[in-house]
Structure 1
Amino acid sequence: MHRTIAAFMVAASLAGTAEAQTSPPPGIPAATTSSQAMPAFSLDAALGAAGVSSAAGTPATSTATGGGVSGPGGSTQTALPSIGAATANVAAATAARRVAGLRPNPELQTQVENIGGSGAYRGVRSSETTVGVALPLELGGKRPARVALANARLTRAQIQAEIARADLRLRVTQLYIEAAAAERRSEVLAEQAGIANNAFRVSSERVKAGDVGPIEQQRADVLRINAQVAADSATRQAQVARSNLETLLNAPVTGPLDRTWFERIDGYGPPRPLDVEGTLALVAAQADVRTADAQVRVARSLRVPDLTVSAFARRLAATNDTAAVVGLSIPIPLFNNGNAFVAQSQAEQTQALALRSLAIVDTRQQIASAQTEVANAAATARAAGGPGLAAAQEAARIARIGWSQGKFDQIALLDAERTLSQTRQTYVDALAAYHDAQARLDRLTTPAPTISGDDR
């Protein structure tokens, strides 16, 4: 009688487990009914909350103003720190360009001579008062050189603002991927804990019925405890991952994350050669070269001395007469002739050229590595979520039936269940790795925007 009851409980428990495992999409358990009723919080919604374009690689026109971003529903929220810093940098460079175009201010000068002396020059009786204006004249093309340097720096600041947006887009995407993967792992391990709990109850009944020894119950109890600990840990990891995403967005993340997007794998194949010249990294390096070129131009212009032209009116107190005074001054480049500054600027120009060449090599290597990671992760995910998962599910199904009929021992059953759980986790990890590599590849290949006022 006890054996009949135990066999019935085994069949019912395993049937319920098998039904739970066949209902969700391949490789991942289904979400709860309450979460299915809520609309999914998509990656586009997360990017919109961060105020960045949802389409990676979409060029945008840089502007020098704008301290806020538009959140979901058209509401305006405070810019995230990285975007706010980049926007302020553009505003500062714009102001610096206006400053560079200004001419030197004239000087108002006055002199009083022949006072406080002796004899005829006692007091102010023979004083000579001179009042006039001195106007510095910049020579050597200093003002155009300053403007060119300011334009180059403004262009670099605008590119840096686009880099900040691309980096923020990548960071939001990676946190979203991390949160989505953590939730899927939590679901897998929670189901595994349920299976281990059922196996422990069945083992207890079989021990009571005298079908197996107590060691089987003890083994099932250990596995049940370990599975529950792993499930609890995965739950906490999912909560932390969602909290990190909310902290970055400074907005609540409600509802389940987009399961359809997470499980989608786009087409992949052999890596395709990409032109790195138009990417943000290369355009930024080229902007640094143009800035260094403009700095050399400024340094050379500073070697030409400036003139100061002055015109004065002098009053002679002794005769109460007035006379005009004209002056011209030019500095003598005796101690500083500007050669050191030119040498420094030329060295920085050489450095910028070398860094640009290095950026080409690094960008090509990083793109090639990301393309390989995308292909490998996609292949792993398709294998783990397709034939690999089907084989693991079938092996677990056969092990359950054989164990319930006494043909397989508990070790074979547990090994099959563990393999199925590991295959599901491998599928989730491969999906996370695929999306992460794809996000990094999109960041590396983000085209440079059209910069307004770009002085090339």
Structure 2
Amino acid sequence: MRIERPAKARVCWRWLTGVLVCAEVWWGGTLLRAQPAGGQDGGDTPGELVLTLEACVRRAVANHPQLQAARARVATAQAARRQARLWPNPELELASEDGPLNRGSFAEESKQTVGVAQTIPFPGKKRLESAMARLELTRAEHQWRAVLLSVIREVKLARVRVLGWKAVLEATRESVKVAEALSAAVHERFRAGAVGEVDVLRAETLLEETRLELEEARIRWREALQELALLVGAPVRDKLDVVGRLREEPDPALVGRQPAEWLPHHPLVVAGRAEVKRAEVAVTRSSREAWRDVTLRVRGGRAGPADDVVAEVGLTLPLPVWDRGRYRMTEALARREESQAALAAGQRELLLTWEREKLRLEGTAAQVRRLRREVLPRTEKAVDLLRAGYQAGKFDLLVLLDAERAAAEARRAHARALLEMNLAHVELEALMDAEMPELFWEDGSSETKPRPETVTPGQVEVER
């Protein structure tokens, strides 16, 4: 059954519906105008994110999970250091004893006392434990520095790969254009009967090889772009604007530095030395395990029906009968030997990495210089001369195209060598940059921060 509304009700309903529609359109337009250009999620549109080196580092160290874990380990070591200074808590003792069970009232005739028991650590134990906790904190701080340098290294390598493979990609595109022109010219000469089928196959093979190299360069560039985007916490996109240029020459100060200048200050080495010193202190601490902590008791109360006032003083001293601390000493000695071997292995690995990357840097730098100073000028000059000769009718088009192909190959080789040189340069920077610039601190502040404490072999300050 259909119910007809009155005319005035229909008019009011239509008017109210129109008002609601207008309000919805106005509100929706306001929301759209208030949204950022990237869409509803407020993200950046492709191509709007400009990444300099400083921006990449700041974004990467802001919320990197490895840095968060390292900071948590530092906070754990700080709490453990404060805990190591504290004595055990005293114990409240309530006793009711020496009361008869077969006669009278136990509560009236027993001795009732209340007291406190305090465990007193053996002299020197808390001092050694505090020193061990301090060295553990030093190790955690320098491990955090090592993680920070590792994150910066990853960001720099990803950025260099993006810039380097982009240059290789552009050079390979030029090679593809020259190979396509050369293949078209050979096909035209083949139709005219000037060249044979072998020349056609050779030109087509060269073109396909160049196209394969172009696809490889495009894949490597996209992989580097994706890696950098993941490191800096940006959406994966192809239009990230990575600002900067690759280094044309290595830093002479970096190449000239010797291991004696940077190895003792490397965070991993300092952390290893702190661990060795902590193991040495642990050996001294384990030698005192045979001397147990004593417990002092003081109690007072009433005894018997006469409510005599009583006081008691007691001392508990564990006897080292079964456990004399021998195995703890053996464990501490083994851990000291392990820490010493780990320190030596870490220093050796750093030295091997330094030698390998230095040789790589020197070799690629020599290739870059030779390509830039000798090969590229000669190929460009040969192309100019052959182009002038072709325009004058002295040379064939195939000769000019072959010279252009050689010039394109030289530019691509230069781009690859420049990429390898910059990668090796970043690896050496990661080894030698023990003093980090201000912009590399993870909180983004600009003030100069003090360097964490350095532990030298055979020297430790024991807190008292």
Q: TM-score range by the shorter chain?
A: 0.7 to 0.9
Residue 294, structure 1, aligned to residue 304, structure 2: no
Alignment map for 1:288-437 (pairs within 5 Å): 288-395=275-382, 416=403, 419-437=406-424
- Cα distance in 2 for partners of 1:369, 1:217 equals 44
Query: 1:257 deviation in Å?
Result: 3.6
Residue 80, structure 1, aligned to residue 64, structure 2: yes
Residue 180, structure 1, aligned to residue 181, structure 2: no
Letter in 2 for 1:260: R
Letter in 2 for 1:451: P
Query: 1:223 deviation in Å?
Result: 3.3
Residue 165, structure 1, aligned to residue 156, structure 2: no
Letter in 1 for 2:421: Y
Query: 1:349 deviation in Å?
Result: 2.2
Aligned residue among 53, 77, 81 for 1:93? 77
Pair 187,338 (structure 1): closer, same or farther in 2 beyond 3 Å: same
Letter in 2 for 1:386: R
Aligned residue among 158, 174, 177 for 1:191? 174
Query: 1:295 deviation in Å?
Result: 1.4
Query: 1:142 deviation in Å?
Result: 1.2
Contact 2:187 2:200 in 1 (8 A): yes
Q: TM-score, normalized by length of structure 2?
A: 0.74
Q: TM-score, normalized by length of structure 1?
A: 0.75
Query: 1:305 deviation in Å?
Result: 1.9
- In structure 2, the partner of 1:260 is 245
Pair 214,364 (structure 1): closer, same or farther in 2 beyond 3 Å: closer
- In structure 2, the partner of 1:440 is 427
Aligned residue among 145, 151, 161 for 2:134? 151
Q: Which moved more, 1:387-396 or 1:330-339?
A: 387-396
- Cα distance in 2 for partners of 1:446, 1:336 equals 49
Contact 1:313 1:324 in 2 (8 A): yes
Query: 1:89 deviation in Å?
Result: 0.9
Pair 363,237 (structure 1): closer, same or farther in 2 beyond 3 Å: closer
- Cα distance in 2 for partners of 1:114, 1:342 equals 44
Secondary structure, in 3 states, of the residue corresponding to 2:149? helix
- In structure 2, the partner of 1:14 is none
User: Could you report, residue by residue, the CA deviation over 1:115-145 in whole angstroms, capped at 9, with x for unpaired residues?
Assistant: 6x65226765543333211011112311111
Q: Which runs of 5+ in 2 are unaligned?
A: 1-46, 436-449
Letter in 1 for 2:300: A
Pair 230,372 (structure 1): closer, same or farther in 2 beyond 3 Å: closer
- Cα distance in 2 for partners of 1:210, 1:398 equals 28
Query: 1:199 deviation in Å?
Result: 2.2
Contact 1:129 1:314 in 2 (8 A): yes
Alignment map for 1:101-250 (pairs within 5 Å): 101-114=85-98, 118-120=101-103, 124=107, 126-213=109-196, 216-250=199-233
Contact 1:121 1:127 in 2 (8 A): no
Query: 1:148 deviation in Å?
Result: 0.6
User: Could you report, residue by residue, the CA deviation over 1:133-176 in whole angstroms, capped at 9, with x for unpaired residues?
Assistant: 10111123111111111100001111111111111111111111
Superposition RMSD on alpha carbons, in Å? 3.3
Contact 2:265 2:434 in 1 (8 A): yes
User: Could you report, residue by residue, the CA deviation over 1:217-249 in whole angstroms, capped at 9, with x for unpaired residues?
Assistant: 454344334433332332232122111101011
Pair 215,98 (structure 1): closer, same or farther in 2 beyond 3 Å: same
* Percent sequence identity over aligned pairs: 25
- In structure 2, the partner of 1:24 is none
- In structure 1, the partner of 2:258 is 273
Query: 1:337 deviation in Å?
Result: 1.4
Q: Which moved more, 1:181-190 or 1:265-274?
A: 265-274
Pair 286,447 (structure 1): closer, same or farther in 2 beyond 3 Å: same
Contact 2:49 2:241 in 1 (8 A): yes
Residue 47, structure 1, aligned to residue 47, structure 2: no
Letter in 1 for 2:245: T
Contact 2:160 2:246 in 1 (8 A): no
Q: Which moved more, 1:158-167 or 1:401-410?
A: 401-410
- Cα distance in 1 for partners of 2:67, 2:255 equals 36
- Cα distance in 2 for partners of 1:174, 1:270 equals 18
| Alignment size in residue pairs | 392
- In structure 1, the partner of 2:272 is 285
Query: 1:385 deviation in Å?
Result: 2.4
Letter in 2 for 1:184: A
Letter in 2 for 1:237: R
- In structure 1, the partner of 2:451 is 450
